[in-house]
Amino acid sequence: MKLTFAIFALVFSGLSLANEACDNPKDDFDGLYCLNKIYQEADRELNANYRTLVPLLDATGKAKLKSGQLSWLNTRNAECSRKDATGFYVNLGCATSTTIQRSQFLQDRIRECKSSGCLNSQL
């Protein structure tokens, strides 16, 4: 029991230090780590919103949503990343903000569907 508590305390203190590091990153790698955490959470929320919206739509709406999502992915990738001879680069700030915007769009569609009915023209 004491060992379990000690491991829990160690893990908890490590998470606390990681969160403190994100309040004031020491260098670019700390900043990248923290921004990646924010992006991952935005991506989880986006996927949850997508999964919530799909069952609310009819077949036409589902097809339009899927097409719109694929188009959004292509646009996000074109605007927020690039590949050249020296490597592949992703602007996590750009990817995060566009993911948050798309997630908000999906949340708006969910609210719309639940309140007044789904409008395929809005997808």
Q: What is the pLDDT of residue 29?
A: 86
Domain 27-122 coded CATH 1.20.1270: yes
Q: What is the pLDDT of residue 19?
A: 54
Of the candidates 9, 8, 30, which has an alpha carbon nearest to the alpha carbon of residue 18?
A: 30
Q: What is the mean pLDDT of residues 83-99?
A: 94
Q: What is the pLDDT of residue 27?
A: 87
Q: What is the pLDDT of residue 79?
A: 97
Query: What is the spatial distance between Cα 90 and Cα 92, in angstroms, rounded to a whole number?
Result: 6
- pTM, entire model: 0.77
Query: For the chain, which residues make up each domain, given as ranges?
Result: 27-122
* Measured CA distances, 72 to 67, 85, 98, 108 (Å): 9, 26, 9, 16
User: Residue 37 has which token pair?
Assistant: 């955490």
Q: What is the pLDDT of residue 3?
A: 45
